[in-house]
Amino acid sequence: MAIEIKPTQTGVTQSLMQKPLKAEAPADATDRSTRTDTVTVTSAAEDLIEMEKKLSNLSGSDEARVASIKEQVQNGSFQIDVAKIAEKLIQQEQELL
């Protein structure tokens, strides 16, 4: 029996540390030989599963903050701090170097 396992699109490469899992099929009454199938789950795959569980519990945004900003934009009181934006852009660029 063959199982096709498709790679994820996360770009995580396969780890050298693998944990083989064995499942034994029940022996047939006429055939006393035992068949085993092996599935290998990498530690990277286990990490991805754990991260997916954690991320599924997170909210995508701070809804109260978004509502506050929307209200400020609509009534014209939202102020853009260009110096703060420039400072953050420079900081991000320096982190990349």
Going residue by residue through the chain, which has 97 residues, state the pLDDT in tens, using 9 for 90 and above: 566 666 665 555 554 455 555 656 555 555 567 778 888 888 898 999 999 988 888 877 788 999 999 999 999 999 999 999 999 999 999 999 8
Instruction: Classify residue 57 by its DSSP letter.
Output: T
**Taking the domains of the chain in order of start, what are their residue ranges?**
18-24+35-96
Beta carbons of 47 and 17 less than 8 angstroms apart: no
Residue 56 CA to residue 61 CA, distance in Å, equals 13
Q: Determine the pLDDT at residue 80.
A: 93
pTM given for the model: 0.35
Nearest to 5 by CA among 42, 34, 35: 42
